[in-house]
Amino acid sequence: MNKVGELVEGFLKNKTRAEMLDFLKGILTPTELDELTTRLQIVKLLKKGLPHQEIARRLEVGVATVTRGSRELRLGRFSRVSP
């Protein structure tokens, strides 16, 4: 199994929110965890139809970061993420 597969397996072994949070806090730095939550917020705001510039301003990120999220949405990712 490759490294990404091992990471996915690590995620899937967590059965509760508490286990997942503990796993995330153990594997990620506080900055990395904050960046992941920001990326999720980007996806949610894109799904709500907010303009890229507005999302970037609200979340204090670059427009390129928002554009990346938009590109991933167009590829069909994040289908299970609610706005």
HSE, side-chain direction, 13 A CA sphere, residue 34: 6
The structural domains of the chain, ordered by start, are: 3-74 (1.10.1270.10)
CA distance 83 to 40: 10
pLDDT confidence of residue 1: 80
Distances (CA, A) of 45 to 41, 50, 75: 6, 6, 17
pLDDT for res 29: 98
pLDDT (0 to 100) of residue 50: 97
pLDDT score for 19: 97
Distances (CA, A) of 5 to 9, 11, 45, 67: 6, 10, 29, 27
Q: What is the pLDDT along the chain (83 residues), one digit of tens a residue?
A: 899 999 999 999 999 999 999 999 999 999 999 999 999 999 999 999 999 999 999 999 999 999 999 999 999 999 999 99
Taking the CB of residue 29, how many other CB atoms lie within 10 A of it? 9
